[in-house]
A and B are shown apart, each in its own frame.
Chain A
Amino acid sequence: MYSPTIELDNQKLEKNKIIVASDKKYRSQLLKRFKRDDIRSGPFFRDLALFLEHYEMHKVSLFFMGKAKMYSPNLKPVDSTTSSPYSLEQSKHTINVLSAKASPITRTFSTMSLAKRLLHFLFINKP
């Protein structure tokens, strides 16, 4: 016999199961990252930000991602050991914008760089 109470309980149980499963997944992902020795501040805050993002703590996540980028400006938006996609939409957007607007990589060196190289060559390597 159908019982709305039992149906509701079943739904709650199912939901709990999903939450526990996702908790386990995110937890093991984070632990895998934090298991490594000598974790620097940049990757540490990035991984923590990614973890918190799973729990929809967007503001907090962005705060720690900001720290991550402060410590490691060249930090990759994904963890190379897990290759998990970077899920912070707003930061991703920011990074995309920055990438798109990156100075035209001419592959030729700037005059400044050239001058430095020239001077280094002239004054340091001069026989």
Chain B
Amino acid sequence: MFGKSSVIAYAFEDACRHKFGPAGHFLQVIGISDSSISNINIINSNSSISDKAIDIIDFINHRIPMLNDNRISEGRIHLDYSNFYGLTGKKFQIGKDCVDINISIENLSESCQWLKESMGIEYRLKDLPDSSPTIVYDHVFSDEIKHIFTYLSPVFKKLTYDYINDRRQASNIDRLSKKTLNQLLEWIASKHKDTLGHNLADTIKLQCASIANDEKQRDQLLNNLKRKHAEAEHLFRDIALFLEQYEMNDEALFL
């Protein structure tokens, strides 16, 4: 539409190095001064996540992809993977093996060549390691998993358990990681027994039923509160009835 001569390409890394990130780089390019940019509230998104976060999300996506026929797969919830964004670790480094499986190094080389010739931006594939560096699981990982575990969906709890179980059996695992992962499995088995009681297919079914029930109870409570103009006694009665649906009979007494 604009013609190739009207397109100017900037190296992404250069944009990231700007004091205010890629957004700041763009604003500077179009002539807005740094002093003006500093007054703008720039919201950062798509920030880096750690090697561990990417690895666990990748494992889960292989087991249950987020989308199936352009719809969210059964067992997945919108943005469910964000719970793992808090996992700390090293910066993720993609390996040539991963590139080769997905698109082949040869294709990528050609594309890099095209990018260099057309836009003057050079990416050197030789900088990529043969494979991603081995992940080390330490007590920090263990603590972080324990902190987020409560907030994971039943399916994610199950898959997280499977992930830990899978990684502890890797041939190249170090002693510390193996010990950490073994202890985590024991912790899950003792504190979240329900996670291990069903296979994945059954867990998905149970989760779907639980979500349907949550929605039903939510709608019922909201409808009741709106319809009755929410007199005090109605509110407490309706919430008490709601709690009873979750078998919280003692709490429903509001003592």
Given contacts A66-B151, A73-B80, A113-B46, contact A60 B232 (CB under 8 A): no
Evaluate contact between A105 and B48: CB separation under 8 angstroms: yes
Closest A residue, CB atoms, query B19: A107
Evaluate contact between B232 and A103: CB separation under 8 angstroms: no
Query: Chain B, interface size: which category?
Result: 35 or more
Closest A residue, CB atoms, query B102: A119
Write out the residue numbers on chain B whose beta carbons fall within 8 Å of the beta carbon of A62.
Answer: 150
Given contacts A27-B232, A70-B152, A97-B147, contact A105 B86 (CB under 8 A): no
Closest A residue, CB atoms, query B215: A41
Per-position contact with B for A59-85: 1 when CB-CB < 8 Å, else 0? Answer: 010110011011111100000000000
**Interface of A (DSSP majority class):** helix
In the complex, whether B72 has a CB less than 8 A from a CB of chain A is no
- Which parts of A69-127 form the interface with B (CB within 8 Å)? 69-74, 94, 97-99, 101-115, 117-119, 121-123, 126-127
Whole-angstrom CA separation of A57 from B254 in the bound complex: 9
In the complex, whether B26 has a CB less than 8 A from a CB of chain A is no
Nearest Cβ distance between residue B155 and chain A, in whole angstroms?
10
The count of residues in chain A whose C-beta lies closer than 8 Å to any C-beta of chain B is 54
Given contacts A35-B226, A41-B214, A60-B248, contact A101 B144 (CB under 8 A): yes
Per-position contact with B for A37-72: 1 when CB-CB < 8 Å, else 0? Answer: 001010011001001100101001011001101111
Nearest Cβ distance between residue B61 and chain A, in whole angstroms?
12
In the complex, whether B115 has a CB less than 8 A from a CB of chain A is yes
Write out the residue numbers on chain B whose beta carbons fall within 8 Å of the beta carbon of A102.
Answer: 85-86, 88
- Which parts of B188-246 form the interface with A (CB within 8 Å)? 211, 214-215, 218, 222, 225-226, 230, 232, 235-236, 239, 242-243, 246
Whole-angstrom CA separation of A127 from B119 in the bound complex: 13
Residues of A within 8 A of B (CB): 23-24, 27, 30-31, 34-35, 39, 41, 44-45, 48, 51-52, 55, 57, 60, 62-63, 66-67, 69-74, 94, 97-99, 101-115, 117-119, 121-123, 126-127
Closest 6 CB pairs of A and B: A69-B151, A122-B111, A73-B82, A110-B48, A108-B16, A98-B86
Given contact pairs A110-B48, A112-B54, enumerate 13 new A-B contacts (beta carbons under 8 Å). A51-B239, A55-B254, A60-B248, A70-B153, A74-B79, A101-B140, A102-B86, A102-B88, A103-B87, A106-B91, A107-B47, A110-B91, A111-B92
Residues of B within 8 A of A (CB): 4, 12-13, 16-17, 21, 44, 46-50, 53-54, 77, 79-80, 82-83, 85-89, 91-94, 99, 103, 108, 111, 114-115, 123, 140, 143-144, 147-148, 150-153, 211, 214-215, 218, 222, 225-226, 230, 232, 235-236, 239, 242-243, 246, 248, 251, 254
